């Protein structure tokens, strides 16, 4: 089974080399979709890829954004023959040590596995009570509006079977920013895919700067309604 980890990145030079080394130690291939980071993240990945065929770089010069990068990386991973695809953040808030748990859940029959802070055993560490409360509220909000059977529906740490990702059709995803997470889950629901959650410990980044701002957070609340409208336009298939 060929596993490819996709990493949408922007200014992750402080983290990317260490993360790729840990992922390669888990026998996973790595695909970095970098939005031409000013800090040279793409240069570091390019250097690693020159000596390790299990590392690949998509240096993105146009149509930048977290959502577009994620969708392009998914499409490339399928083209390159992935049997399983994992997407995660590149700042170690999603730790590679949980990857075996995600893959084990796929092997038990799940189509998509979510690394979750909000199921028993999951934790959100180092972000303060206000931020933790906001995380729980925003997850509840999205879950309610979209009717998702997922507690941590804001999680960007996910594993997919090839069949699941093909059903989601990543080349046709339209979300430019973080709302791609909700768009993917919405499509998964309409396609009748089986989604399960496994606990992870989410640790706030220690190196580099977060791209999350109040403006982006508020924008996310409105984008949920856009995703809901898009879901209604998709054919629905009941879960087997």
Q: Cα dihedral sign for 103, 105, 111, 116?
A: negative
Residue 105 neighbours by CB under 8 Å, 6+ apart:
113, 159, 196, 198
DSSP state of 170: G
Q: What is the end-to-end Cα distance of the chain in Å, rounded? A: 24
Query: Mean pLDDT score of the chain, rounded to an integer?
Result: 90
Residues 6+ apart with CB under 8 A from 65: 35, 176, 177
Span 76-108, pLDDT tens digits: 999 999 999 999 999 999 999 999 999 999 999
Please check the confidence at residue 133 and state whether its pLDDT lies above 90. no
Q: How far is CA 119 from the centre of its chain?
A: 18
Q: What is the pLDDT of residue 206?
A: 62
Task: Provide the pLDDT for residue 176.
Answer: 87
Cα separation of 92 and 205, whole Å?
Answer: 6
Overall average pLDDT of the 132-149 stretch? 88
Confidence at residue 233, expressed as pLDDT on a 0 to 100 scale: 72
d(CA 86, CA 103): 9
- Residue 177 vs residue 12, higher pLDDT: 12
> Length of the chain in residues, anyone?
240
pLDDT in tens, 40-90: 999 999 999 999 999 999 999 999 999 999 999 999 999 999 999 999 999
Neighbours of 126 (CB within 10 A): 14
Q: Look at residue 237 in the predicted model and tell me its pLDDT.
A: 67
Q: What is the number of other CB atoms lying within 10 angstroms of the CB of residue 185? A: 27
pLDDT number for residue 118? 95
Residue 31: the pLDDT is 98
Residue 163 CA to residue 78 CA, distance in Å, equals: 10
pLDDT by residue (tens digit) across 179-209? Answer: 899 999 999 999 999 999 999 999 986 655 6
Whether pTM > 0.95 for this model: the answer is no
What average pLDDT does range 126-141 have in this prediction?
83
d(CA 75, CA 73): 5
Token pair 């402080």 is found at: 14
pLDDT at 7 over 80: yes
What pLDDT, on the 0 to 100 scale, is given for residue 240?
A: 46
The separation between CA 233 and the C-alpha centre of its own chain, rounded to angstroms, equals 24
Residue 226 has pLDDT above 70, yes or no: yes
Give the pLDDT band of residue 153 (cuts 50, 70, 90). very high
**In the structure, what pLDDT confidence band is assigned to residue 238 with cuts at 50, 70 and 90?**
low
Lowest average pLDDT, out of 39-43, 136-140, 222-226, goes to 222-226
């Amino acid at each position: 089974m060929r596993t490819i980890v996709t990493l949408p990145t922007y200014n992750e030079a402080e983290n990317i080399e260490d993360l790729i080394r840990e992922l390669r130690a888990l026998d996973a291939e790595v695909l970095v979709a970098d939005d031409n980071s000013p800090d040279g993240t793409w240069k570091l990945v390019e250097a690693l890829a020159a000596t390790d065929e299990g590392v690949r770089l998509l240096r993105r010069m146009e149509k930048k954004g977290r959502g577009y990068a994620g969708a392009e990386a998914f499409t490339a991973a399928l083209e390159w023959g992935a049997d399983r695809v994992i997407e995660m953040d590149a700042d170690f808030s999603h730790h590679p040590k949980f990857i075996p748990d995600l893959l084990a859940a796929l092997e038990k029959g799940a189509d998509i596995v979510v690394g979750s802070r909000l199921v028993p055993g999951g934790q959100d560490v180092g972000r303060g009570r206000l931020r933790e409360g906001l995380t729980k509220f925003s997850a509840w909000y999205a879950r309610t509006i979209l009717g998702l059977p997922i507690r941590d529906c804001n999680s960007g740490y996910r594993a997919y079977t090839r069949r699941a990702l093909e059903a989601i059709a990543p080349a046709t995803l339209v979300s430019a920013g973080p709302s791609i997470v909700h768009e993917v889950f919405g499509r998964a629901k309409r396609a009748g895919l089986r989604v399960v959650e496994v606990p992870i410990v989410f640790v706030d980044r220690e190196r580099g700067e977060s791209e999350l701002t109040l403006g982006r957070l508020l924008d996310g609340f409105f984008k949920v309604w856009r995703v809901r409208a898009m879901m209604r336009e998709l054919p629905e298939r009941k879960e087997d």
